[in-house]
Amino acid sequence: MRDEINAALKQAMKDKNSNRLSTLRLISAAIKDRDIAARSDGNDARVSDEDVLAILVKMVKQRQESARVYEEGNRLDLSERELSEIVIIEEFLPRQLSAEKTEAVIAQAIADTGAESIR
């Protein structure tokens, strides 16, 4: 994950894409902050890919909330910036299942277990 983010950061620098570059720097800084916090807890290892995914998910949620607040405050320019950052961050997250596929997986799990109620 770190290598992908660093490669994207370098490419954004080469492309002189300032919006993408600033978002990737925010991601990198958040990961480094978590590394520092882990070291202060006595753990010498870097954070895992699972921790990086958790950081990214948290960043997306923060931006979604900020975008909503900005829209309510009629600050569409700031809302659009937050939404564009979400798009960049989500590039590094695993793809989510569609609603139809999710329902199919749930139906299959119910059929496999023979469940008739929530219990």
pLDDT for the residue 71: 94
Measure the CA–CA gap between 93 and 5, rounded to whole angstroms. 11
User: Is residue 115 in some structural domain?
Assistant: no
pLDDT for the residue 44: 66
Cβ count near 54 (within 10 Å): 13
In the chain, the number of structural domains is 1
Measure the CA–CA gap between 86 and 74, rounded to whole angstroms. 19
pLDDT for the residue 96: 75
User: Is residue 75 in some structural domain?
Assistant: yes
User: Is residue 62 in some structural domain?
Assistant: yes
pLDDT for the residue 111: 84
Q: Give me the domain span that covers residue 14.
A: 2-94
Measure the CA–CA gap between 107 and 34, rounded to whole angstroms. 38
User: Is residue 88 in some structural domain?
Assistant: yes
- What's the CATH code of the domain at 57? 1.10.1510.10
pLDDT for the residue 99: 81
Q: Spell out the alpha helix ranges (H) of 1-119.
A: 2-15, 18-40, 49-72, 76-90, 99-113
pLDDT for the residue 53: 92
Write phi, then psi, for 24 (nearest 5 degrees): -65, -35
pLDDT for the residue 105: 84
pLDDT for the residue 85: 94
User: Is residue 31 in some structural domain?
Assistant: yes
Query: Roughly how many angstroms between the first and final C-alpha of the chain, as a whole number?
Result: 38
User: Is residue 90 in some structural domain?
Assistant: yes
Please answer whether residues 75 and 82 qualify as being in contact, where contact means their C-beta atoms are separated by less than 8 angstroms.
no
pTM of the model: 0.73
What does each of the 119 residues of the chain score in pLDDT, given as a tens digit? 888 999 999 999 999 999 999 999 999 999 999 988 888 877 767 788 888 999 999 999 999 999 999 999 999 999 999 999 999 999 998 887 778 888 888 888 888 888 777 76
